[in-house]
Structures are given as structure tokens and as C-alpha cells.
A and B are shown apart, each in its own frame.
Chain A
């Protein structure tokens, strides 16, 4: 079956430091991968979307300078949170799809705590 793995599941970093999280799609051919942040209030914010043959598109309030993303292919994606501060806390979710209008397969997320 289709699965999305994310690691680490949780991480703690000191304020001003950076941390990297990874996402891997298994069991299907992903043609788009998106990173989201879920706040403590449970709302989802789209950080960036990568689609096959297109550049990574960042949403308003999120920049490549703060959240650089790299992926050799759409089955594997990594994102770094640079200079993390308290407002960056949350659950970072990776979602991948096979085709537009189909379901998004989510990983279990990486929970970032900043101290």
C-alpha cells in the first residue's frame, strides 16, 4: 500500500538553531509533495508545494531562505527549519499525491519543539 514516512517523529532544538526533517513516499509514484505545518490549534498551513517538472512553490509567509527544501526525486524530500524560534513550533506534515485530485497520503509528522 501507499505510505509516507517522516522522521524524526519529534525533535527539540534550541532557539536560533536549525533542524532537518525528512519525508519518503513508498508504494506509489508521487507526482507532488507538499509540506504543511499544523499549529496547536490544529489548523493547517501550506508551506510549499513541489510538483513534477516544476520549481518548488512557497506560500505567503514561508520562504526558501527559512525553510529550504531539497528532493532528488519526489519520493524523497527533506526540509530544514533554519534559525528556529518559538513561533516555528508545531507538527510538520508531509503529504504526497499520485495525481491531481486524488487523495493526499500523509506521514505521521515531525513535531518540533523549540526551547
Chain B
């Protein structure tokens, strides 16, 4: 079946530190992979997406590489800001199925 695993429930960093959020997936075929961000009181918003294996997506300083070999789609940012504090979801879609990871709460301290 389809699944997405985010091992980190919470990540706490100080401003300007490097962010790495782990995501691995399991599926068949050729999924599209996304990172969504959810701020308090809001619905999830698309952060970035990658449709083709071995490509990289980037947005607002965040980037993730669709690695078919390791079935991973880790999210990185070189220097986080306090405004990046939110919950980040790794998401997979394969035809009509949409599968969410459990989310990683990022807290960035000033």
C-alpha cells in the first residue's frame, strides 16, 4: 500500500539554524511528492512539489529532492526564521490517493 513516514514529531531550532525534516515513502508506480505547511488556525498550504524522480523542488528557501533510490523526500532549509514555525506534512499522491505523513512541528526560537 501507500505510506509516508515522518519520524520526527517535533523539531526545535534557533533562528538561522539549519533545518532537516525526514520523510520516507512507500508506494508503487510514479507518485508526485509534496510538502505542505500548516500554520495555526489555517488549512494546509502547498510549500513545494516534485513530480519527477531525482528532481528537486524549492520554495521560500525550502528544498526537497525526490530520491527514488532511497524512497525519501527530506525537507531542508539553510537558515530558519521564527515565522517558519508551523507543522510540516510530507504528502504523496498516486492517482486519486493522497497520503499524509503524521507531520513534524517546527518551533523556531528567536
Give residues in A with beta carbon < 8 Å to B.
Answer: 4, 6, 32, 34, 42-44, 46, 49, 51, 93, 95, 100-109
**Known contacts A42-B87, A43-B102; is-contact A106 B93 (Cβ 8 Å):** no
Q: How far is the CA of A108 from the CA of B32 in the complex (A)?
A: 23
Q: Which residues of B contact A109 (CB under 8 A)?
A: 42-43
Which residue of the partner chain, among B44, B96, B100, contacts A51 with CB atoms under 8 Å?
Answer: B96
Task: Specify which of B38, B42, B49, B89 is in contact with A103 (CB 8 Å cutoff).
Answer: B49
Contact A93 B95 (CB under 8 A): no
B8 CB-CB contact with A under 8 Å: no
- Which A residues lie within 8 Å of B34 (CB)? 103
Of all chain A residues, which has the CB nearest B100? A44
